[in-house]
Amino acid sequence: MRRTESLRALVRETTLDPGDLIYPLFICPGEGVRKPISSMPGIFNLSVDEAVKEAEEAASLGLGGLLLFGLPEAKDDEGTGAWDKDGIVQQGLRALKASSAAKKLVLIADVCLCEYTSHGHCGLIHKGPHGWEVDNDPSVALIAKAAASLAEAGADIVAPSDMMDGRVAAIREALDQSGQTQTPILSYASKFSSAFYGPFREAADSAPQFGDRRGYQMDGANAREAMREIELDLAEGADMILMKPAMPYLDIIRMARDRFEVPIGAYQVSGEYSMLHAAFEKGWLERDRAMLESLLGIKRAGADFIVTYFAKDAAKLLG
């Protein structure tokens, strides 16, 4: 059954389609801006007009959607740009919704404060007995406010990535109170504290100015805890879950797939992308095969859809 490509295709158990892929975009102020991200070859910070062009190409390739991140003009301790009616992602959402081509895409808005806070953490901070700590409950109120703002601006899905306790319930309440009752919540339910996020910190200008995020992101050693986190988010009203990173946590994706009946996505994060690109540039790996194999492995592990910086390139190969 492996002798020819047609036989292999006939009995193939797992398939990969452009519609399974979500492409991240980093939206920044200005016009005509297309700033290369040095640690992520082929990825850019884009002004709103350039983001629309990128979205139109993504739609033409049959991608499933976009995941939007923002780089605000200014930051402060509370991250007020996250819920500003004229915030950078809110501007991007309105522009994308006005584009006929981009309307074919599902627009997912990442919900977090790290891109907007001057200190780079995902919530408000205070000085605790062990040094600076994230203040969970006040942070949740602001994260919920940001989610409602993004939904009002046109997000089809809001995706909280902060890992604060109780954020899903607060977001669901904020969405309902603002009239966004039909907006689904895609929860980063098990987001691990990972070394593979490094290049993203450059892309989103979101590196913590002190400390790290191990106090609120998950310990990579804990699989059972990941299942508890997912259960809690689903109980609070999450409609879908997103696993992050993908490659080092394929076992977590499989555990979640076997246990939960909701749609599951996986995020092939910046470090995974940049690591493969480095091998391509050295000639150590065959680019097209390795790229598609990495995505197929994530899909086989149980992901229904994949957030990946390879989305456009993979879609061109998948046709």
The 3-class SS string of 165-179 reads CCHHHHHHHHHHHCC
Specify which of 73-77, 80-84, 284-288 reaches the highest per-range mean pLDDT.
Answer: 284-288
- pLDDT score recorded for residue 124: 81
Distant-in-sequence, close-in-space partners of 30: CB < 8 Å, separation ≥ 6? 47
- 191 is an active site residue: yes
The whole-number pLDDT of residue 213 equals 66
CA–CA separation, 163 vs 175, rounded Å? 18
What is the rounded average pLDDT of the residues 115-138? 78
Identify the pLDDT of residue 103: 85
The pLDDT assigned to 36 comes to 95
Average pLDDT in the 229-233 region?
A: 96
The confidence score (pLDDT) of residue 273 equals 97
Band (pLDDT 50/70/90 cuts) for residue 217 is confident
In the predicted model, is pLDDT for residue 261 greater than 90? yes
Q: In terms of C-beta density within 10 A (0-12 exposed, 13-18 middle, 19 or more buried), how is residue 300 classed?
A: middle
Pick the CATH number of 13-241 from 3.20.20.70, 2.160.10.10, 1.20.272.10, 2.30.30.30: 3.20.20.70
Q: For the CA atoms of the chain, what is the radius of gyration?
A: 19
Question: 75, 145, 191, 312: which is the annotated catalytic residue?
Answer: 191
pLDDT digit string (tens) for 153-208?
999 999 999 888 899 999 999 999 999 999 999 999 989 999 898 888 777 666 66
- The two tokens of residue 10 are 């006939």
Domain boundaries defined on the chain: 13-241
- Could you confirm whether 103 is annotated as catalytic? no
Residue predicted with more confidence, 122 or 224: 224
Distance CA 311, CA 154 (A): 22
